[in-house]
Amino acid sequence: MTRNLATPPMCHETSEAVLISAFDRLLRSDHANKERKGCPGISTLKRLAFDPKLFRDKEILSHLGYCGACVDELAKLRKGQVSRRRVG
């Protein structure tokens, strides 16, 4: 039995879907944004990681679309909070 590690949401675009597509693009190109231009900051990323429902700011979403640094941080934050209580 084989199962994908990632289970993308089917119903609508969520932060998860945005992250996945952002990651996919980042893996193909170099959007590292090492200078962290326009980054919302770690505190915002933490909020997003712990409560994706806050994930409504289109500016942040589009930022994550090209900022590898933020996507990477957000992914790490999300990994770190897996064992916490479920949100939603």
Judged by the rule CB under 5 A, the positions of this chain that interact with Zn ion are: 39, 67, 70
Q: Nearer to Zn ion by C-beta: 5 or 52?
A: 52
CB 33 to Zn ion: min, Å: 5
Q: Nearer to Zn ion by C-beta: 37 or 56?
A: 37
Measured between its terminal Cα atoms, the distance across the chain in Å is: 29
22: helix, coil or strand? Answer: helix
Report residue 5: phi and psi, to 5°: -65, -40
8 A C-beta contact, residue 61 and residue 74 = no
CB 85 to Zn ion: min, Å: 27
CB 88 to Zn ion: min, Å: 25
